[in-house]
């Protein structure tokens, strides 16, 4: 039996587009003489549909799309993800399901058992858990069908430090008793920089444990802040990889079931994490714009590294003709910051404008002088400059219909070193899930073969340039230290005592963690952040705004 893995890019709620993509993939699979084509989780409606699942029209449109797809499934079998109605008396009204269509007839509906409710997932909000286990026979082969989390009964915790069992029941144990010859897994597994390793580990261990080949079909694309990388995979009964599809691209590949355990295994080379994150972010920006019908982007060019990196990534994603940089020097900006930003704009080939803010800043100070009571220059005046810049950028965005990109990195987002209604403005946070040390690493990688980001931008001490001779190191520890503390606190979720025991200065650890905890209200109002780590700010890290953290 020839099986096609259809790794497609779906658009949530765009039933016309999704249906046509699926029909085209079925036709291509037929052309390649496939007997079965497998699509990903909730393929028909797109994943994750969130509260659209509560809309009756959304479920009805999914059903209509399924009916249209059925008409094109003659002379082939199809396994495809979509919600189904729970006809029982109890529980949620929907199941997260896999429809088995054989020669145009719905042969069976298999429901998802394990419903994740951690990190970015909250499926128990919408779906009822499956309690009945069954296989399906296609072309004389008995197949067990699982949906995403169903094969993740045991998994590593954050960053893979220890294995934990998240669920009481293991669907694979139930299916194994029915003696299938193959396990399919329809997935919508979002990208993070170590997720690919985890997936391979899960697939390989399950294949070895049950002595069965696994076919894992993941979606590709970006929905909201989640990046889906695809990388659909086939492993044989020994747990060896025999096929893997590309990352961040649509693709359809055929594998012969009779040859899975005889095919020569491939040595899959995992990409450098920095490079993989670069690919993910570029893909994320491009997808965010395409799926929302946006075309042009604007951002502030300060001459600093964060804005330089975002401009570079945006230019790769959207094309130089669609990116505009605005330089807004203050009286505290160094001459080289302006020349660095101009050189970057030239290297990228993007349009730029210069709007000095001194003449705007001082009338603000004059107007506020009576209520400032001669208090010394400080953070208020620094933030005022950032908010003037944010206002200029939003004005340009509104007037010209450009989407404002936010350049804040994860380090400053973590400790609250971003100004609300100033440099936190933007429709999308491009690098808000990579730490400052990772920003340096990505910039150096981009410059590996040709200087795109001026070297001086990378080598000069980071500074907001909002007061004379200001440097980030005036108020924060070196980023090498800061980022390690943040990583252990945020990604690894270690306590202050745990981090101190690793050898870090107790006072520094206490101060950094306090800054993180006290900045929740800022992040609550931040733009959506493209997720590339295991614990991004946003829906995957939900903290109370009013709480005592110590």
- Going from N- to C-terminal start, the domains of the chain cover 2-270, 276-471+520-524
Catalytic residue among 61, 128, 148, 438: 148
Tell me, what's the pLDDT at 196? Answer: 84
Between 197 and 212, residue with greater pLDDT: 212
- 2-270 with 276-471+520-524: one CATH topology? no
Q: Based on the number of CB atoms within 10 Å of its own CB, is 513 exposed (0-12), middle (13-18) or buried (19 or more)?
A: buried
pLDDT in tens, 103-130: 999 999 999 999 999 999 999 999 999 9
Residue 194 CB coordination number (10 Å): 17
For residue 289, give both structure tokens: 């714009």
Q: What is the mean pLDDT of residues 429-439?
A: 98
> Is pLDDT above 70 for 296?
yes
486 contacts 411 by C-beta, under 8 angstroms: yes
Q: What is the mean pLDDT of residues 470-493?
A: 89
Nearest Cα residue to 533 out of 418, 419, 446, 414? 414
CATH 3.60.110.10 is right for the domain spanning 2-270: yes
Confidence of residue 89 (pLDDT cuts 50, 70, 90): confident
Least confident range from 319-333, 455-469, 498-512: namely: 455-469
User: Is 41 assigned a catalytic role?
Assistant: yes
Render pLDDT for 152-182 as a digit per residue (tens, 0 to 9). 987 655 445 456 778 888 999 999 999 999 9
**pLDDT score recorded for residue 464:** 62
The pLDDT of 182-211, averaged and rounded, is 94
Catalytic residue among 21, 41, 73, 410: 41
pLDDT of residue 404: 98
**Counting beta carbons within 10 angstroms of the beta carbon of residue 122, is it exposed (0 to 12), middle (13 to 18) or buried (19 or more)?**
middle
Kindly state the average pLDDT of the residues 305-330.
97
For residue 260, report the phi and psi dihedrals to the nearest 5 degrees.
Answer: -55, -45
Q: Is pLDDT of 471 > 80?
A: no
- Can you list the alpha helix ranges (DSSP code H) found in 97-210? 171-176, 195-210
Which band of pLDDT confidence, cut at 50, 70 and 90, is reported for residue 291?
very high
CB 314 within 8 A of CB 285: yes
Share of the chain above pLDDT 70, in %: 96
pTM: 0.94
- Summarize pLDDT for 214-238 with one digit per residue, the tens: 999 999 999 989 999 999 999 999 9
Q: How far apart are CA 5 and CA 34, in angstroms?
A: 10
The catalytically annotated residue of 21, 61, 73, 112 is 112
Which pLDDT tens digit goes with each residue over 350-382? 999 999 999 999 999 999 999 999 899 999 999
Q: Give tens-digit pLDDT for 334-351.
A: 778 899 999 999 999 999
- Beta pairing class for 2-7 and 251-256: antiparallel
Q: Which residues contact 511 (CB under 8 A, 6 or more apart)?
A: none
Asked about 275 being catalytic, the answer comes back as no
The whole-number average pLDDT for the span 385-390 is 97
CB-based burial, 246-285: b 16+ in 10 Å, e otherwise: ebbebebbbbebeebeebeeeeeeeeeebebbbbbbbbbb
Laid out side by side, the sheet with 2-7 consists of 105-111, 94-102, 77-85, 36-38, 2-7, 251-256
pLDDT of residue 314: 98
Please say if the pLDDT value at position 470 is more than 80: no
Average pLDDT of 100-104?
A: 97
Structure confidence at residue 254 as a pLDDT band (50, 70, 90): very high
What's the CATH superfamily of 276-471+520-524?
HUPs (3.40.50.620)
Give residue 267's pLDDT band: very low, low, confident or very high (50, 70, 90): confident
What is the C-alpha separation between 23 and 535, in angstroms, rounded? 36
Q: What is the mean pLDDT of the chain?
A: 94
* Bridging pattern class, strands 297-300 and 323-327: parallel
Record the tokens describing residue 365, joined without a space: 């100070």
Would you state the pLDDT for residue 473? 67
Please give the DSSP secondary-structure letter assigned to residue 223: E
* Phi, psi (degrees; rounded to nearest 5) at 95: -115, 150
How is residue 265 annotated by DSSP?
Answer: P
Distance CA 476, CA 109 (A): 56
**Residues 512-528 pLDDT 10s:** 999 999 999 999 999 99
Whether residue 529 has pLDDT greater than 60: yes
Which stretches of 349-478 are DSSP H helices? 358-372, 379-400, 410-415, 436-446, 455-459
Band (pLDDT 50/70/90 cuts) for residue 332 is confident
The helix, strand and coil proportions of the chain, stated in percent and rounded to the nearest 5, come to 40, 20, 40
Whether residue 469 has pLDDT greater than 90:
no
Contact 339, 302 (CB under 8 A): no
| 3-class secondary-structure state, position 412 | helix
CA angle, 405 as apex, 400 and 411 as ends, to 5°? Answer: 160
| C-alpha of 319 from chain center | 21
């Amino acid at each position: 039996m020839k099986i096609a893995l259809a790794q497609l890019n779906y658009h949530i709620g765009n039933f016309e587009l999704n249906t046509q993509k699926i029909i085209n993939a079925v036709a291509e699979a037929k052309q390649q003489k496939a007997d079965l084509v497998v699509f990903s989780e909730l393929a028909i409606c797109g994943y994750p549909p969130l509260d659209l699942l509560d809309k009756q029209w959304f479920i009805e449109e999914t059903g209509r799309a399924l009916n249209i797809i059925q008409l094109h499934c003659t002379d082939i079998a199809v396994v495809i993800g979509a919600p189904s109605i729970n006809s029982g008396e109890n529980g949620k009204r929907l199941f997260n399901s896999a429809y088995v269509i054989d020669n145009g007839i719905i042969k069976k509906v298999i429901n998802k058992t394990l419903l994740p409710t951690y990190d970015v997932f909250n499926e128990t909000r919408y779906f009822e858990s499956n309690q009945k286990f069954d296989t399906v026979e296609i072309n004389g082969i008995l197949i067990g069908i699982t949906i995403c989390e169903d094969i993740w009964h045991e998994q590593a915790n954050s960053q893979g430090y220890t294995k934990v069992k998240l669920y009481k029941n293991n669907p694979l144990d139930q299916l194994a008793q029915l003696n299938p010859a193959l396990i399919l897994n329809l997935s919508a597994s979002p990208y993070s920089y170590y997720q690919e390793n985890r997936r391979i580990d899960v697939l390989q261990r399950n294949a070895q444990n049950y002595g069965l080949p696994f076919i894992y079909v993941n979606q590709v694309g970006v929905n909201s802040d989640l990046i889906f990388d695809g990388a659909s995979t086939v492993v044989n009964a020994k747990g060896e990889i025999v096929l893997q599809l590309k990352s961040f691209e649509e693709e359809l590949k055929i594998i012969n079931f009779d040859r899975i355990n005889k095919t020569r295994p491939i040595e899959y080379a995992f990409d450098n994490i920095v490079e993989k994150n670069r690919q993910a972010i570029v893909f994320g920006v491009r997808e965010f714009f395409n799926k929302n019908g946006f075309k042009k982007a604007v951002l502030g060019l300060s001459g600093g590294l964060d804005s330089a990196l975002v401009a570079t990534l945006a230019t790769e994603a959207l094309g130089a003709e669609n990116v505009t940089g605005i330089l807004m020097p203050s009286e505290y900006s160094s001459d080289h910051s302006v020349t660095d930003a101009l050189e970057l704009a030239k290297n990228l080939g993007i349009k730029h404008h210069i709007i000095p803010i001194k003449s705007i800043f001082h009338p603000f100070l004059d107007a506020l002088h009576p209520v400032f009571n001669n208090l010394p220059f400080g953070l208020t005046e620094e933030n005022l400059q950032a908010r003037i810049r944010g206002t200029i950028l939003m004005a340009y965005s509104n007037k010209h219909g450009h989407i404002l990109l936010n350049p804040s990195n994860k380090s400053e987002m973590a400790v609250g070193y971003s100004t609300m209604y100033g440099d936190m403005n933007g429709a999308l946070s491009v690098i808000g899930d990579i730490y400052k040390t990772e920003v340096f690493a990505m910039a150096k990688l981009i410059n590996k073969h040709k200087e795109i980001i001026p070297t001086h931008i990378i080598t000069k001490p980071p500074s907001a340039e909002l007061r004379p001779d200001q440097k980030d190191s005036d108020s924060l520890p070196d980023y090498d230290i800061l980022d390690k503390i943040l990583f252990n606190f945020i990604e690894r979720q270690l306590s202050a005592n745990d981090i101190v025991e690793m050898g870090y200065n107790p006072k520094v650890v206490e101060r950094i963690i306090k800054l993180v905890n006290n900045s929740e209200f800022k992040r609550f109002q931040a733009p959506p952040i493209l997720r590339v780590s295991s614990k991004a700010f946003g829906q995957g890290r939900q903290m109370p705004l009013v709480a005592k953290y110590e």
